[in-house]
């Protein structure tokens, strides 16, 4: 059972990385749509914090993609944390 939880942790971390990449690319595209008001290079590192700033200046399709990526990021982080806790507890109990 511990190995199943470990597999879920790995899959959740892969989803976390994929959602980070999706959010960063969507934020960079939105920042390039308005070059004078947002920094596209900042989108790689701090895209979750730029979502509020881009809401007023970018087209709605960029905001929708950024919001979906942000939700996926938080869900993957919570699933990874819960699965890691479960895997750690199950591996300790089985010894």
What local confidence, expressed as pLDDT, does residue 37 receive? 60
Boundaries of domain holding 51: 2-93
The number of folded domains in the chain is 1
Show the 3-state SS of the chain: CHHHHHHHHHHHHHHHHHHHHHHHHHHHHHHHHCCCCCCCCHHHHHHHHHHHHHCCCCCHHHHHHHHHHHHHHHHHHHHHHHHHHHHHHHHHHCC
Question: Are the beta carbons of 68 and 19 closer than 8 angstroms?
Answer: no
Say whether pLDDT at 36 is over 70: no
pLDDT > 90 in the chain, percent: 37
Task: Please give the pLDDT value at position 55.
Answer: 63
Predicted confidence band of residue 94 (pLDDT cuts 50, 70, 90): low
pLDDT in tens, 38-60: 577 777 888 888 777 776 666 77
Once rounded to an integer, what is the mean pLDDT over residues 66-94? 89
């Amino acid at each position: 059972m511990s190995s199943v939880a470990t597999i879920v942790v790995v899959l959740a971390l892969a989803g976390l990385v994929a959602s980070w990449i999706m959010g960063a690319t969507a934020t960079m595209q939105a920042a390039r749509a308005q070059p004078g008001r947002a920094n596209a290079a900042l989108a790689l590192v701090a895209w979750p914090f730029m979502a509020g700033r881009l809401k007023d200046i970018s087209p709605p399709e960029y905001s929708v993609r950024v919001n979906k990526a942000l939700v996926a990021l938080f869900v993957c982080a919570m699933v990874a944390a819960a699965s890691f806790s479960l895997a750690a507890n199950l591996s300790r109990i089985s010894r």
